[in-house]
């Protein structure tokens, strides 16, 4: 994934272009929006942290953005029954190891450059590490499920950027303070500042893309591409996930044998809310059947899962360094630190020798 940054000079130019981008928006109103959304000519888009590809993380991102009615679940395979149990699926987020321009990165389908861009929310990725949030927002902005409520933050942002081209949408997204703050809430709090470096050719770099149905067609939204990728018509009467499965399988097959660095997340309807509505309907009709008990169990399972996600996210954000430092101090005070260090060095030496012997 290219290490794209926004220089102050280019950002200043883009800001001037943004002011004049649409004659339908008055200058004073535009400047008020720019102030509201936190555009700062001197500071650029700020820093975005790396976040983990995990359903608990993405579900919390959705809630913190102010969106209701959706959640995220992980898929472990491309088998039909995996998708069936999660229906309705509103979008997919695919994580893969980015290996630069190659045959594996050649995507089938055509790049959309016509009037469909007026209907599809597509933003270019203009800043490093933002692809995870950009992937989930691509689904939220294009989802038409009646049970979903976009909320004021993303709703206002969608309205604000509807006349922007993909590059300007990407710039606006990267500089939206609330979105960036929610994203960066998953960064670990450290007592040290580490220098940011560009990824070298030996580093593993990962990227997120989105797959979503829009108006009966399957689209791939990748912020590193020039526009949405049209993968064709979804056959009438068939679920869109039947069309996306071979597309994903074909993409995975292009990578070298043994490559397992993939992750697939599904954005689905809020299960707890869906079960509660079904239960309320049955109870309102005075129905007392095994289905009522089943729904109550499912609601309880969803609540337990949410509690687990919440605890895991707290742990992700927690700074464990003070605990580790204190633990090392205690070991040193009992004269156990240096012996353990020497033992660890010896284990590492033996491991290196075994690895070297295995290669020879």
Q: H or E stretch including 94?
A: strand 89-98
Q: Among the options 90, 183, 207, 231, which is catalytic?
A: 207
CA–CA separation, 247 and 158 (whole Å): 29
Largest interatomic CA distance in the chain: 74
Answer yes or no: are the C-beta atoms of 249 and 78 closer than 8 Å.
Answer: yes
Whether 20 is catalytic is: no
Place of tokens 């794209």: 4
Neighbours of 331 (CB within 10 A): 15
Neighbours of 252 (CB within 10 A): 16
Alpha helices in the chain (DSSP H): 8-19, 27-36, 55-64, 80-84, 131-142, 151-160, 166-174, 177-184, 240-253, 271-284, 290-317, 321-333, 337-359
Answer yes or no: are the C-beta atoms of 310 and 334 closer than 8 Å.
Answer: no
- The distance from CA 339 to its chain's CA centroid, rounded to whole angstroms, is 44
Answer yes or no: are the C-beta atoms of 107 and 251 closer than 8 Å.
Answer: yes
CA–CA separation, 116 and 121 (whole Å): 10
Residues 58-70 as b/e (b if ≥16 CB within 10 A, e otherwise) read bbbbbbbbbbebb
CA–CA separation, 87 and 66 (whole Å): 23
Q: Among the options 90, 131, 143, 183, which is catalytic?
A: 131
What tokens does 278 get? 């079904």
CA–CA separation, 27 and 102 (whole Å): 44
Q: Which three-class secondary structure state does DSSP give residue 104?
A: helix
Whether 207 is catalytic is: yes
Region label for 137, one of left (φ > 0), alpha (ψ between -120 and 50) or beta (otherwise): alpha
Q: Which residues are catalytic?
A: 131, 207
């Amino acid at each position: 994934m290219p290490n794209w940054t926004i220089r102050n000079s280019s950002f200043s130019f883009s800001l001037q272009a943004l002011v004049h981008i649409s004659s339908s928006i008055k200058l004073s109103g535009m400047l008020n929006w720019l102030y509201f959304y936190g555009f700062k000519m001197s500071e650029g888009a700020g820093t975005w942290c790396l976040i983990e590809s995990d359903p608990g993380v993405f579900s919390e991102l959705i809630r913190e953005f102010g969106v209701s009615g959706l959640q995220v679940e992980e898929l472990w395979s491309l088998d039909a029954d995996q998708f069936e149990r999660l229906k309705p699926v509103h979008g997919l987020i695919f994580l893969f190891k980015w290996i630069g321009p190659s045959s594996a990165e050649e995507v089938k389908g055509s790049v959309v450059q016509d009037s469909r861009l007026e209907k599809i929310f597509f933003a270019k990725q203009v800043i490093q590490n933002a692809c995870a949030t950009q992937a989930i927002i691509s689904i939220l902005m294009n989802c038409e499920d009646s049970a979903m409520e976009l909320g004021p933050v993303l709703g206002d942002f969608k309205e604000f950027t509807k006349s922007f081209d993909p590059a300007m949408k990407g710039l606006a997204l990267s500089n939206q303070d609330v979105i960036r703050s929610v994203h960066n809430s998953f960064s670990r709090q450290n007592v040290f500042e580490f220098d940011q470096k560009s990824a070298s050719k030996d580093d593993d770099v990962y990227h997120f893309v989105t797959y979503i149905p829009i108006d009966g067609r399957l689209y791939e939204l990748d912020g590193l591409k020039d526009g949405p990728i049209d993968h064709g018509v979804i056959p009438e009467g068939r679920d869109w996930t039947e069309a996306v499965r071979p597309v994903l399988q074909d993409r995975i097959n292009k990578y070298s044998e043994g490559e397992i660095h993939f992750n697939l997340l599904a954005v689905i309807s809020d299960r707890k809310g869906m079960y509660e509505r079904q239960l309320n309907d049955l109870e309102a009709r005075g129905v007392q059947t095994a289905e009522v008990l089943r729904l109550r169990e499912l609601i309880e399972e969803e609540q337990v899962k949410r509690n687990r996600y919440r605890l895991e996210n707290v742990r992700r954000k927690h700074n464990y360094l003070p605990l580790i430092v204190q633990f090392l101090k205690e070991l040193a005070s009992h004269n156990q630190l240096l012996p353990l260090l020497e033992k660890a060095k010896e284990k590492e030496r033996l491991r290196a020798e075994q690895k070297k012997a295995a290669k020879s």
